A and B are shown apart, each in its own frame.
Chain A
Amino acid sequence: MSTKPRISSAVPDQPAQFATVMMHTPASTGRFFELYAEFWQRGVVADELKEMTRMRNARITDCGY
C-alpha cells in the first residue's frame, strides 16, 4: 500500500483526499454520493446496524480510512 496519494487533487490548492481526488469525475461522484445517501438517509435498515456493518467491513478489508 502506498504512503502517498497516487492521484492528484482535482481541486486547486487542496490536498489529495478522497473527496478532492474523486472530483476528477464530478458527475459520477455526485451520483455515487446520491446512492450512498440513499443507504443512510432513507434506508429501511437501522442506522446502528448499518454503522456496525460498515465498521466491520472496514476492518475486514483493512481500510484505515
Chain B
Amino acid sequence: MSWIDATQAPTALEAALAHRPELLARYRAFYGSFWADGLVPRRVLELCRLRVAAIHDCESEWLLRDAEVNLDADEQERLRAGEVEGFTGPERAALALAEQIPYGHHQVTDAQVEVATAAFGEPACVSLLTALAFFDVTCRLRLVLDLPAEPGVLDAPPLSNGALA
C-alpha cells in the first residue's frame, strides 16, 4: 500500500502526483517530451527505461510497457539481467550509460559519452542523458511512494497520456 492516498487518475504515479495538479501537468509535459521530440529512438528509450527499473528493482516501473515497442521475452530477460549481447551497437551505447546512472554516475567515462554521441548525435545524446536521469528519478519516486506494481501498456511510459499540448 502506498504512503500517499490515491486520487482519481489512470496510473498509480499520476494518482499520487495529482495531489498537486499543476505539478502533475508539468511532470507529464516534461517527461513526455523525450518521446515527443523524436531525437532518441523509441525502442532505445524503452530499453533504457526498463534497464534502470531493473537496476532499482522497481517492479511498478518494470511492469509498464510502451505500446509501440514490442520487446520479446528473451530481450526482456536479458535486460533484467543486464546482458547486452544481441542488442545493436547504438542500443548497447545507450544501455552502457543507463547502467551507470542510478549508482555509478561518477564512473561514466568520456569514451562512453563519445560512443553515444557518435551513435545518436549531440542533441539526441543530451536528450538521452536527460531521459536517463529522469528514469532514475521516477524509479526512486515510485519506490519511496511505495506505489503498487500493476502491469500496463501506455502510450508514453510511465504516464497514461504523455505530453500535454
A: residues with CB less than 8 A from B are 1-2, 4, 6-8, 10, 21-22, 24-25, 27-28, 31-32, 34-35, 38-39, 42, 44, 61-62
Residues in B with CB closer than 8 Å to A10 are 122-123
Partner of B126, one of A21, A35, A44: A21
Q: Would you call the interface of chain B mostly helix, strand, loop, or mixed?
A: helix
CB A19 to nearest CB in B, in angstroms, measures 12
A-B contact count (CB 8 A): 66
Within 8 A of A (CB), among B9-62: 20, 22-23, 26-27, 29-30, 33-34, 36-37, 39
Residues in B with CB closer than 8 Å to A4 are 110
Q: What are 18 A-B residue pairs whose CB atoms fall within 8 Å in the complex?
A: A7-B117, A7-B122, A7-B126, A10-B123, A22-B126, A22-B130, A24-B122, A24-B123, A24-B125, A25-B37, A25-B123, A25-B126, A27-B36, A32-B30, A34-B26, A38-B22, A38-B23, A42-B22
Size bracket of the B interface: 20 to 34
Q: How far is the CA of A1 from the CA of B100 in the complex (A)?
A: 12
Interface check B127, CB cutoff 8 A: yes
Residues in B with CB closer than 8 Å to A2 are 109-110, 113
Residues in B with CB closer than 8 Å to A21 are 126
